[in-house]
Amino acid sequence: MTLSGKDGILNEKLFITLFETHKDSIYRMAYLYVKNQTDSLDIVQEVAYRAFKNRKSLKELSYFKTWIMKITINASIDLLRKKKKVVELHFTSELGTQQTEERYSDLLLHELLNALEEDEKKLIFLKYYQEYTFQEISEIVGSPISTVKSKIYRALEKIRLEHRKEEFS
């Protein structure tokens, strides 16, 4: 598929088609950051606006998903900064044993991820929640693959160390 429209940019119809193809992934990535449906939907709208407005910056159609995910991550972080939001997971004892264990696991994972810096969280989300390859992550964040790998491995080590601290507390 080639870029269409005058001046070699994405035309409106092609943009809408591509955006529709990836909107679920955009929503999921936003939700990983903001942890609620309303803000996630707002981010999807913001991403649509930013991407359409800046569609001239996309030089290669095969990078559309990478490009749109980068916009999604930036929009999510911008919203979190704007709201200075602290995401809390609520633990209720009314749940059944299995659900309680799942909630506890979610709470523990959330606490472990909070030990990471924003840049590290972004890489972990891309690798383990969105299942991008190291190459794709490298393209999204604009860093060499070796840097991406070392940051992910350092982040995982931080999570392991934090988990060990939690176990012995």
Q: What does the DSSP assignment read for 29-55? A: HHHHHH-SHHHHHHHHHHHHHHHHHTG
CATH assignment at residue 69? 1.10.1740.10
Last residue of a domain, one of 86, 111, 128: 86
Is 1 among the domain residues? no
- Section 29-55 average pLDDT: 93
Entry field: residues in the chain: 169
Last residue of a domain, one of 38, 54, 86: 86
pLDDT in tens, 86-121: 444 444 444 444 444 444 444 456 667 777 888 888
Higher pLDDT, 150 or 98: 150
Is 115 among the domain residues? yes
- Section 57-64 average pLDDT: 89
The residue range of the domain holding 69 is 8-86
Predicted structure pTM score: 0.62
75 and 12 in one domain? Answer: yes
168 and 108 in one domain? Answer: yes
Domain count of the fold of the chain:
2
118 and 81 in one domain? Answer: no
